Structure 1
């Protein structure tokens, strides 16, 4: 099978290689001349045979929307576009409506696996019509992990369901990472525990908390046992926010994932206005000392006495 792939970054480049290893022909396009196979989007489309299948792997939002719109002008009825980026599921409705008006199919596909997907395979969550999923199935089979199809691949439902499922997946990921991280901090804080990296490694086999994320935590601690020099500033890609927004919209209690998202926000603050207000209030009602910023930093650094 022959497929066009737009976006050859860390994920897209590895996906191109995995699809090729499965015996399919991939024509890739990227604005980086060092990795692209063709010079233009037009050249990519011209190199494919009907029905054309084009996979879009670019940042969500405007880059994806503009790419899908351009493909709508270049492709023909019967062709198929797959958005494999981290788009918000509501954007899929717009993209599908645009392409459907021109007789072009559309699928949304949440992709998980990161930089390890080339060797291990990618978890795929797809939304769209049955006939379009069937058309693209050889590519999905090439990308997913080896083994039963339903372990690593799901046709989750209608348009938007793939990205919605991936959004919830990433929200769960936030909560899992936060739980492992909190456990790490508590173990580090207790003086009787002498081998924190060893504790995490011991958990990785035979325990109920074992997971691939735990394996990655073990790897990180083997490379840097005390995480020396690692900033606590933690970004978010947007999907955790969308998950919490959907929880509110659907009245679904989600305290763990919400707390893990807010913890990331807290990591970016030089100082916490919330805790500044709490300190000021303690001073007002209880006469407790309100420390200056310098005094607070001295305590954090172990240079002052607690009051």
Structure 2
């Protein structure tokens, strides 16, 4: 009898199965298409204790009770279909773990539906891509603590290991795990877009080659900006296409696709009333990129007049580094605020410091700055957006002239910088005592009698702004 089962043998599923088996657990695997299972067993499995099954019944019966089954299938309808296939063979007390990028509301629904049948369910965010799945991902399980206890030992062993411990923790109740993974992806969108905007300045304003940009990114990665996304960015810059000998990044079409988690983050932030403009505009930037034909046509119709002054190369590079640091900090600020509000709204009971800890290794958004963010939260756990800290304000104000300079420079060169701009505007909004929303509220009262409050006395007011 095997310790755990895994369904779904795309690359992530294969690598996770191998990871579990190499930690000395026995694994049963199943995939809807038998050919993929056979290929996996033939080409990937060597000495690992992994057994393949070609029907659900024998797969389930191969597992020790209470059974523990990880689903690594596409989010949405395929998850529900697989659960329905499993149910006839499961007993009360068995556990299903969804390791895909499921929408958190779907996870909540499944937890409640399965609870009625006595089946336990964990929604588990998995970050780290293919390499993380094989060598140690960041794992974000959420659901009942009893369900987590059943697989805690396995999860802690297969997770990435850092000096702060395994990159896995019980995230919280209900769909907390998938919610945190969703916001993780929203932050990921924002940081990727910010790096891309910085890259655009380096190539279009400073006219640097991919190799030169790669050298700058590598230098930054050796400093405060050290992160997985910075590391892969400098490697991408230096990679040459084997067929043409050209830098491959220059040959890739500028259309960035998305799978939906970034959009879900934006939608949820609007639903909960938490400002996440950098995360939202990273989604919009990907959407804009997809209108390639329209962009090409419009670019031919506009004459752009570029500044004649010569820019200071070293200043621009230094300010770009600071601007990127500013934007990365703000992206985390917005994401953590959203997680904190959701924790209250949905009774997740999430520990933000623990979330940052498990993002330190095996994770797409792992970064050196996470330690700094954890220090800020440790000072005050109620500081959910990180800004109510002298450390945070000093860090951002030290870089504000840089990001102001860069965002102004990009306008002179007609370059869109949606995330850099929104990060700055978010911070400026948060530190501004008097925003112009008083005029908006007056306008709302004028055309819709929506009322307003005053700064000089208590109460709710409405004005007849013009005589009938």
Q: Indicate the TM-score class for this superposition, using the shorter chain for normalisation.
A: 0.7 to 0.9
**1:115: how far off?**
1.3
Change (3 A) 1:192 1:56: closer
Secondary structure of the 2:73 match is: coil
* Equivalence for 1:204: 221
Cα distance in 2, alignment partners of residues 239 and 56 from structure 1: 18
Preserved CA contact (<8 Å) 2:93 2:120: yes
Instruction: Map 1:49-198; keep pairs closer than 5 Å.
Output: 49-147=64-162, 151-191=166-206, 193=208, 195-198=212-215
Instruction: Please point out which of 200, 219, 236 is paired with 1:220.
Output: 236
Preserved CA contact (<8 Å) 1:72 1:99: no
Alignment gaps of 5+ in structure 1: 276-291, 301-307
Preserved CA contact (<8 Å) 1:55 1:83: yes
Cα root mean square deviation, aligned: 2.2
Change (3 A) 1:226 1:58: closer
Alignment gaps of 5+ in structure 2: 38-51, 241-246, 305-468
Cα distance in 2, alignment partners of residues 74 and 111 from structure 1: 26
Runs of 4+ residues deviating >2 angstroms = 31-36, 146-151, 190-194, 292-295, 297-300
Q: What's the TM-score once normalised by structure 1's chain length?
A: 0.85
Greater relative contact order, per chain length (Cα 8 Å cut-off, separation 6+): 2
Cα distance in 2, alignment partners of residues 228 and 184 from structure 1: 12
* Equivalence for 1:265: 287
Q: What's the TM-score once normalised by structure 2's chain length?
A: 0.57
* Equivalence for 1:234: 256
If you compute each CA radius of gyration, which structure gives the higher value, 1 or 2?
2
Cα distance in 2, alignment partners of residues 75 and 254 from structure 1: 42
Instruction: Map 1:27-46; keep pairs closer than 5 Å.
Output: 27-36=28-37, 37-46=52-61
Change (3 A) 1:226 1:191: farther
Secondary structure of the 1:154 match is: coil
Cα distance in 1, alignment partners of residues 265 and 60 from structure 2: 35
Change (3 A) 1:299 1:17: farther
Change (3 A) 1:4 1:151: closer
Counting matched residue pairs gives 281
Secondary structure of the 2:291 match is: coil
**1:34: how far off?**
3.5
Cα distance in 1, alignment partners of residues 72 and 12 from structure 2: 8
Change (3 A) 1:106 1:43: same
* Equivalence for 2:452: none
Change (3 A) 1:42 1:181: same
**1:150: how far off?**
5.1
